[in-house]
Amino acid sequence: MILMKTIKSKLVTTVMMTIALFVSSNWLVTSGHSQGQTTGMLIRSSAFVILLYAWALVRLLSTKRFAKAFMIFVDTVYLMGFVSIIAVASTKLTGFIQISAILIAIIGLLACLIIFYLIKKYPLNVVNKVN
């Protein structure tokens, strides 16, 4: 029981950290290389990362069927998002903003890998409910 609580708390903390890292690195890349209005795009991408991770966490913590697979899918999507941020930052940005965006994205990659590890260790006993 104690092990499950620590895995849950680590998972929730790491997911919240991943959301913050994705939003901040996305903001750096978008504001660093885009010309014009980018506020709407940033708000939509931020809302989407929050919504998807929250949905996946709720499903996982409430032991729904396919919850682990859905969390792995969401984590894979944002892992690729961090890879994309690194690619864009390394080709389109310069100076301190480039270094900051790349470092934040690398930390985000590591956070995604930690989430994969925690999902693997997460004990999920799905009970089939018949109505």
In whole angstroms, how far apart are CA 7 and each of 15, 25, 83, 115?
A: 12, 26, 26, 10
- The two three-digit tokens of residue 70, written as one number: 């859905």
- Per-residue pLDDT reduced to its tens digit, 80-124: 999 999 999 999 888 999 999 999 999 999 999 999 999 988 877
Closest residue by Cα to residue 56 from 38, 84, 76:
76
The pTM is what?
A: 0.85
- Per-residue pLDDT reduced to its tens digit, 3-44: 567 888 999 999 999 999 999 999 999 887 766 667 888 899
